[in-house]
Structure 1
Amino acid sequence: MTLRRTLMACMAALALPLAACGDQTDTAKTKGAAGERVLNLYTARHYDGDLQVYAAFEKATGIKVNRIEGNPDQLIARMQAEGAASPADVFVTADAGALWRAQDAGLLQPISSETLNAAIPANLREPQGHFFGTSRRARVVAYDSTKVRPEEVDTYEELASPRFRGKLCVRSSDSVYNLSLVGALLEAWGPEKTKAWVEGVVANMARPPEGGDRDQIRAVGAGVCEVAITNSYYFIRMDRSTDPADVALTDKVKLGFPSLNGQGAHVNVSGGGVARNAPHRAEAIAFLEFLASPAAQVLNSEQNNEFPAAVGVQAPAGVREFEGFTAHPMNVSVYGRRQAEAQSLMSAAGWR
């Protein structure tokens, strides 16, 4: 049985303590051979390109990466159950809201790193050093360029306007990407305006929420809707695809970067933090510092189609063409703090 299946089976078996999850192989992997430097990585990222980044880290440092995978909530529950005995050194995931949940559960420790503070802009890291964004993704708009003008989707307000009644596609309200977006709107606009926006989005839905972001983009191409909310890297991945159908789709469907209060598009991060009980703290910090290095930033962008987070690092060709947008300067740690309020507004409006 693979580690992922083992973990999911343990999560489902409520009569068994989660700390008992995993087999002997799993336990052995977190310890390493005598004298071997290791890093136990709990990751909710599911991108094949990450494996190349980890291999580059191992080659550069001699530190072996032991990878334990799951979705953010599974990994958070596992770390809670493991308690002080947890082998986790670093928790990595694909949304600042999920990073905040780990911090809020007391599972991350603050660190001070001159390297990280110099490389990662202040708004892309938690102020006390509990987590750091290591790549950026914008939550923006895919639109049918034969029906929609770019200026019709250059603000987030417009997505909830009567212009797009019955013409908007979006995934479900329990998507952390949507929760973080609405959390950012709450921070920028306050509850009254955000409530009206959420209600407008629900009124504008062309269909009940379903599927992931690429499904929303394909729905625009198929004429189901005229606009869709999506993360930038999903669109860029399709634009750079070897599948002719995906490439043809992006000839018609274009990517727009709405502005929030005139300050730029909503940006989220993938990133990580050092686990509270990390048995290999120095290796954990070294790992995060490596993720912020120019070489790792470019490799991640090339493989995963995200934008670099580090200061002065330019995305590689194919991603660079979409990089020239203005990003909102809001600190990403805000999104998690606003999640519960965002979920309440979305549920009340009927955003399923």
Structure 2
Amino acid sequence: MQKPLSFALPLMLAAAPALADVNVYSYRQPELIQPLVDAFTEETGIQVNVAFLESGLVERLKAEGDRSPADVILTVDIARLTEAVDAGVTQPLITETLEKNIPAEFHDPEGQWWGMTTRARIVYASKDRVAPGDVTTYEDLADPKWKGRICTRSGMHTYMIALTSAYIAHHGEEEAKVWLQGLKDNLARRPQGDDRAQVKAIWAGECDISLGNTYYMGEMLADEEQRVWADSVRLDFPVFDVEGGGTHVNISGVALTKAAKNKDEAVQFIEFLSSHEAQEIYAEANSEYPVVPGTDPSELVASWGSFTPDNLSLLEIANQRAAALRLTEEVDYDG
């Protein structure tokens, strides 16, 4: 059963969409979006209603069809963005402002989606049990020296599938399957929980390293209970051991829905998201990296260190998603 939505203006969005100037379906939590909404409304006078969905965003848009009140979708991961495009629930949007602000590698060539922030999938390493420099490549995670020392979330989760997709793009399916099996063999426990749960396990001594997105460090440091988990680890930025290889990066992004009723206002909102002001707000609130050149990350994010992003295009990663899902099932990663 579809879970009820959480609206900025409860249920009025679906009942009377004309009350809202811009209607947003979002996989991003309301508290992460609200600072952007407030800044946009203050600048333009345009009101934004945000409906937070835990799952089923594309399915909901397909079911609603032309009746959908949503003008904009906000989501994370290139696979979720391309899923929306493939389902036919978005429409192309190309403006001079967006093309000027957002580098080509962070948007769809046809304007079906636009990247807003980036995050790196890195290694959280125990400060006490893992020496600096012990983890340098993703390939190294399958080395038997890590047997019984790694924790991860489900291999079928979008973030893990994206990393596996990148591995396939660099090395091919045969080598990727061997790597996945090696990674599974090195697990200290069955995959479970989110990225923060893996850091908690490191703090508790259940494992020594884990895979996670960078922004979870910011979330943990902001939580009184979880801060002790964060303090027990450091962030290491592994790279793919190939020519031009770097640290795996994914995005959060935005798209204009096919059914958008308030298109002019929605375009203004999307363009605002690409401004330096919004990029600073968004990156600060989410502990992520801005995509707009010349916009600095927050002091906290900058303190984690610099890294070289991988040279794969986001579309190359998205194109390997089906293969990544199949290989993860074949090695029974979560079993």
After TM superposition, the score normalised by the length of structure 2 is 0.92
Does structure 2 retain, via aligned residues, the 8 Å contact 1:152–1:158?
A: no
CA distance in 1, matches of 2:308, 2:71: 34
1:256 aligns with 2:236: yes
Moved over 4 A (4+): none
| Aligned AA (1:241) | A
SS in 2 for 1:31: helix
Shift of 1:167: 0.9
Quick check: 2:122–2:237 contact (8 Å CA) kept in 1? yes
Q: CA deviation at 1:115?
A: 1.6
Residue of structure 1 equivalent to 2:23: 40
Q: Which moved more, 1:292-301 or 1:117-126?
A: 117-126
CA distance in 1, matches of 2:166, 2:204: 30
Map 1:1-352 onto structure 2 (within 5 A): 5-7=3-5, 25-32=12-19, 38-72=21-55, 74-238=56-220, 240-241=221-222, 243=224, 246-260=226-240, 261=242, 262-322=244-304, 324-352=306-334
Pairwise CA RMSD of aligned residues?
2.0
Cα distance in 2 for residues equivalent to 1:215 and 1:138: 18
Judged with a 3 Å threshold, the aligned counterparts in structure 2 of structure 1 residues 255 and 117 are, in CA distance, closer, same or farther, namely same
| Matched residue type, 2:157 | S
Counterpart Cα distance in 2 of 1:52 and 1:24: 21
- Deviation, structure 1 residue 225: 0.7
The amino acid of 1:167's aligned partner reads: R
Q: Report SS of the residue matched to 1:151.
A: coil
Give 5+ residue unaligned stretches, structure 1.
9-22
After superposition, give the CA deviation of every residue in 1:137-173 in whole Å (9 maximum; x if it has no partner).
1111001122223322111001111111111100002
SS in 2 for 1:111: coil
Quote the residue 1:13 is aligned against. none
What do residues 214-240 of structure 1 show as CA deviations (whole Å, max 9, x unaligned)? 0001111211111100000002332x3
Aligned residues: 328
User: Which structure has more helix as a fraction of its residues?
Assistant: 1
Is the alpha carbon distance of 1:323 and 1:281 closer, same or farther for their aligned partners in structure 2, counting shifts above 3 Å?
A: farther
How much has 1:333 moved relative to structure 2? 2.7
